[in-house]
Structure 1
Amino acid sequence: MDLNLRKAILENVSDNTTDQLESTIVDAIQSGEEKMLPGLGVLFELIWQQSDQTDKQEMLTTLEQSVKQP
């Protein structure tokens, strides 16, 4: 069985509105369930691929600050 998780996640959200995408992200984070992490990873991958270098640097700076917080 060939399961393409990335493709399945993208197909699942491809018709979502901005509000639906936000709800998906918020729900995944608030639930704290490990099974939601791959979906968030795929969404982050899309954001990363569509971002320019300035946006990427801003994300990296925010991430660096976030992982250093107690």
Structure 2
Amino acid sequence: METIDLRQAIINRVQDNNKKQLAEVIEESIGNDERTLPGLGVLFEMIWKQSNKTTQTKLIDSLYEHLHQNAGASANPSPS
């Protein structure tokens, strides 16, 4: 029996999706049960690897701004 890792299982699950279906997977995963987090991580990893340095910098800037927008508030980022 072939062993498949979680990353490859997630890729296999969405590989044949069209753009609308990919968007739905992401939208349905955000703020949902924590079991969806590994899938979002794999999708983000794919985006990151295909992004140039400018896009990566924009992603980091966006993340930084989100994490620091409420500087005395809870350390937990909001799911929305």
TM exceeding 0.5: yes
- Consecutive aligned runs of 4 or more in structure 1 exceeding 4 Å deviation: none
1:15 is paired with a residue whose SS is: coil
- Give the gaps of 5 or more residues in structure 2: 71-80
Provide TM-score, normalisation by structure 2.
0.80
Q: Let me know the Cα RMSD of the aligned residues.
A: 1.4
Considering fraction of residues, name the structure with more helix: 1
Counterpart code for 2:26? I
Counterpart code for 2:55? D
Provide TM-score, normalisation by structure 1.
0.91
2:30 is paired with a residue whose SS is: helix
Aligned length: 69
Q: Percent of counterpart pairs with the same letter?
A: 41
State how far apart, in whole Å, the 2-side matches of 1:29 and 1:69 are: 19
C-alpha displacement of 1:68:
1.1
Counterpart code for 1:26? E
